[in-house]
Amino acid sequence: MALHSHKGGSGKTLFAMNLSAYLTQLGKTVALIDMDLTAPSLGTFIPSQKGLTINDILMKRATAEEVFFDATHIIGDVPGKLYMALADMTGEGIAEINQRDTEAMLEDLFTLIDLVRTKLPGDPFNVDYILIDTSPGLTTNAINGVAITDQVVMILRLVNADVEGTYHFLKTLFNSVQPKTSIVVNQIAEHIIEEQDGRKKIDNLIKNRIVNAIPGLDITFAGILLNDNEVISNEFRYAMESIDASTIKPRPIHIMNPNSQSFASKFKTVLDGILND
């Protein structure tokens, strides 16, 4: 499954990490891959454990066994397991992966297909779910990340650029691959939902501009998440705790956090819809 959006900041990384946590709570084994090669961000939850990254797999310098590490402890005492492959956050690493020609980037697709079809379902990982956190927009990295999965979750905020960008991304994708597609509208202000029949309007907008506009593609509108005060407070609290710390405090995983259990229950409802689709 890939998490994608046209614009940045819509919640892909939050979704990827919290969905991984949820699946491990359910006893699943998950491989979470940072394919946001230009602006890696899963490393904000946990520093690299082995010093190797997904970039090393794409550059054919390292194997999956060398790069993926067991990150279950950041979630806590759960029955499942989480393996992660981070992307290289250094300037040199990002430049190296971006400076390659189109042919090299196309080859990534074959490397990634091999990774998700044979390496990760095999020993020692044996994963149930592979989750891919992508970079925004219609980039080769993003297309590669989405093309290797059987399901894509498009997470968007309600701004025109995001709605139209989602439509164009799915339409382009549909020419070559047809993954099962879920749409989540994120970060909606509460008063919009409460005051102006907002849910119905949003529903109509997504149906007209995206779902019905791409006939033949299997798209489900999975739901709406509000701009959540618990999430905002948690992120703020963790950021502030880094003021005097020698190392940056890792970003919070909201669904595990006792301070955001109201968000957790709403988030899980949307996830159940996506997982059971």
Ligand X SMILES: Nc1ncnc2c1ncn2[C@@H]1O[C@H](COP(=O)(O)OP(=O)(O)O)[C@@H](O)[C@H]1O
Interacting residue ranges for Mg ion, rule: CB under 5 A: 12-13, 41
Q: How far is it, in rounded angstroms, from Cα 150 to Cα 182?
A: 11
Applying the rule CB under 6 A, the residues between 58 and 77 that interact with ligand X are none
State the burial class of residue 172 (Cβ atoms within 10 Å of its Cβ: 0-12, 13-18, 19+).
Answer: exposed
Are 155 and 184 within 8 A, CB to CB? yes
Note whether 266 binds ligand X by CB under 6 A.
Answer: no
Are 28 and 83 within 8 A, CB to CB? no
Q: How far is it, in rounded angstroms, from Cα 268 to Cα 21?
A: 11
Q: How far is it, in rounded angstroms, from Cα 187 to Cα 181?
A: 20
Which of 91, 90, 74 has the alpha carbon at shortest distance from 82? 74
Note whether 260 binds ligand X by CB under 6 A.
Answer: no
Strands 151-156 and 180-188, by their bridges, are parallel
Q: CB of residue 51 vs ligand X: minimum separation in angstroms?
A: 24
Q: Which residue is nearest to Mg ion (CB)?
A: 13
Note whether 13 binds ligand X by CB under 6 A.
Answer: yes
9/51 with CB nearer ligand X: 9
156/211 with CB nearer Mg ion: 156
Note whether 29 binds ligand X by CB under 6 A.
Answer: no
Note whether 144 binds ligand X by CB under 6 A.
Answer: no
Among 217, 235, 250, 259, binds ligand X (CB under 6 A): 235
CB atoms within 10 A of CB 54: 28
Among 1, 2, 5, 154, binds ligand X (CB under 6 A): 5
Tokens of 213: 């506009």
Among 225, 253, 270, 275, binds ligand X (CB under 6 A): 225
42/64 with CB nearer ligand X: 42
CB atoms within 10 A of CB 119: 18
Note whether 122 binds ligand X by CB under 6 A.
Answer: no
Q: How far is it, in rounded angstroms, from Cα 139 to Cα 235?
A: 28
Q: How far is it, in rounded angstroms, from Cα 35 to Cα 144?
A: 9
Q: How many residues bind ligand X (CB under 6 A)?
A: 17
Tokens of 170: 């799915």
Among the residue ranges 11-19, 48-56, 58-66, 171-179, the one whose residues contact ligand X (CB under 6 A): 11-19
Which of ligand X, Mg ion, none has residue 182 at its interface (CB below 5 to 8 Å by kind)? none
Q: Could you give the dihedral angle defined by the CA atoms of residues 81, 39, 141 and 170, in that order, rounded to the nearest 10 degrees?
A: 90
Among 213, 232, 239, 240, binds ligand X (CB under 6 A): 232
Tell whether omega for the bond before 124 is within 30 degrees of 0, i.e. cis.
Answer: yes
11/80 with CB nearer ligand X: 11
Note whether 14 binds ligand X by CB under 6 A.
Answer: yes
Q: CB of residue 49 vs ligand X: minimum separation in angstroms?
A: 21
Note whether 11 binds ligand X by CB under 6 A.
Answer: yes
Q: Which residues bind ligand X (CB under 6 A)?
A: 5, 8-14, 41, 186-187, 225, 227-228, 231-232, 235
